A = this chain, B = another copy of it.
Amino acid sequence: MSAANPGATSPQTVHVPLGDRSYDISIGNGNLAEVGRWVTSLRKVTHVVLISDGNVAKYYQQPVEDAIAAEGIRVTSLGVPAGEQSKSVPTAQSLWEAALADRVDRKSTVVALGGGVVGDLAGFVAATMTRGLDFFQIPTSLLAQVDSSVGGKVGINLPSAKNIVGAFWQPKGVLIDTAVLKTLPRREYLSGLAEVIKYGVILDADFFAYLEANVQPMLNRDPAVLQKIIARSCELKAQVVAEDETETTGLRAILNYGHTFCHALETVSGYGEYLHGEAVSVGMLCASRLGEKLGVFDAESTQRQAKLLSALELPVATPKLSETAILSAMQRDKKVEHGKLRFIVPHAIGKVVLTPDVPSEMALAAWREGIEDESA
């Protein structure tokens, strides 16, 4: 246990306040073993449709299935291939049909066991099967734990657009076990940390300082520190989502800090070249340099982010890519309104502002200046 966090390994709960759609996130170390009792403590459950992917299933499907079945609950286990290509219409259809073939009904409950892909896909199946089933999430990647576990965004991709078909469908509960992160590939784990850092930059300077002070425990996946940073990330995201549940007021847009550059980078480099968190890392630094150019952010704060991201082995340099392609990708971003580029720009560590009407040349300059050696 980290000295900075006495007692942090006892499980803790983060409440997500959404009126009659409120729910709790239970965070602990080893609490996956309690999943059966946890589910029955929250809802009367008689039939669970457990959806997982191959990578996660090999470690955790059987124990989760057993723990749920031990409560006298019938379990239908459905698997999908790991990877983004499972967030598709054909995969959703195969899940709808498989659930139906095993007698799903309106009182069935969907449990998602996996990373962001499984959570989004299973959540969409839950939102639409018999016009809406109860839904529980057990996110098993750090990114899913700090991102997908709050917000209720579920959905699938079409060949030409990601996350374009979906719903807002809040879970009835989320269970996070930091112990499952032990089996997460290192690169994927580190990628999740980029989103954790994002919460510090957009909302909480103290949390950012805590992260700076705990680089080594984070690299070691120290359970107490993990629990602390996951809980704080969920709390911060819950605050934002509670004020803008369905993304109507615009407040929720601050969660997209770094993401306009990130999405452009992902698109132009080809999906798969960068993990999402890696592209967020690069994108946050672009947004920070943009803040400097707009005269609202200081270079020292940009450097603090770069130092922390680097220490966590995340990429900080902008790759050399076609600026025309980057600009074109940014102009297709969801935050674009009437063709004007809008960015989430930091004003200080802990404070960001949605900034409309950013000149595209300024945005490109912020991108360009991140390239490590322009003369190379």
Using CB atoms and an 8 Å cutoff, list the residues of chain A in contact with chain B: 89, 93, 96-97, 100-101, 105-106, 127-132, 153, 155, 158-161, 164-168, 246-247, 334
Contacts and interface: CB of A to CB of B under 8 A. Distances in A.
Contact of A128 (B130, B166, B334): B166
Given A131-B153, A155-B131, A167 B164 contact: no
A334 B106 CA distance: 9
A167 B131 contact: yes
24 contacts: A89-B93, A93-B158, A96-B158, A96-B164, A97-B158, A97-B159, A100-B158, A100-B160, A100-B161, A105-B334, A106-B334, A128-B128, A128-B165, A128-B166, A128-B167, A129-B164, A129-B165, A130-B164, A131-B153, A131-B166, A131-B167, A131-B247, A132-B168, A132-B246
Tallying the copies of this chain within the complex gives 2
A167 to B, nearest CB: 5
Contacts of A101: 160
**Chain A contact residues, majority secondary structure:** mixed
A100 B132 contact: no
Contacts of A131: 153, 155, 166-168, 246-247
Contacts of A334: 105-106
A334 B103 CA distance: 12
A88 to B, nearest CB: 10
A257 B167 CA distance: 32
B127 A167 contact: yes
Given A128-B155, A131-B167, 20 more contacts: A89-B89, A89-B93, A96-B158, A96-B164, A97-B158, A97-B159, A97-B160, A100-B160, A100-B164, A105-B334, A106-B247, A128-B165, A128-B166, A128-B167, A129-B165, A130-B166, A131-B168, A131-B246, A132-B168, A132-B246
Nearest to A159: B97
A251 to B, nearest CB: 15
Contacts of A247: 106, 131
Contacts of A106: 247, 334
A178 to B, nearest CB: 30
Contacts of A128: 128, 155, 165-167
A338 to B, nearest CB: 11
A350 to B, nearest CB: 29
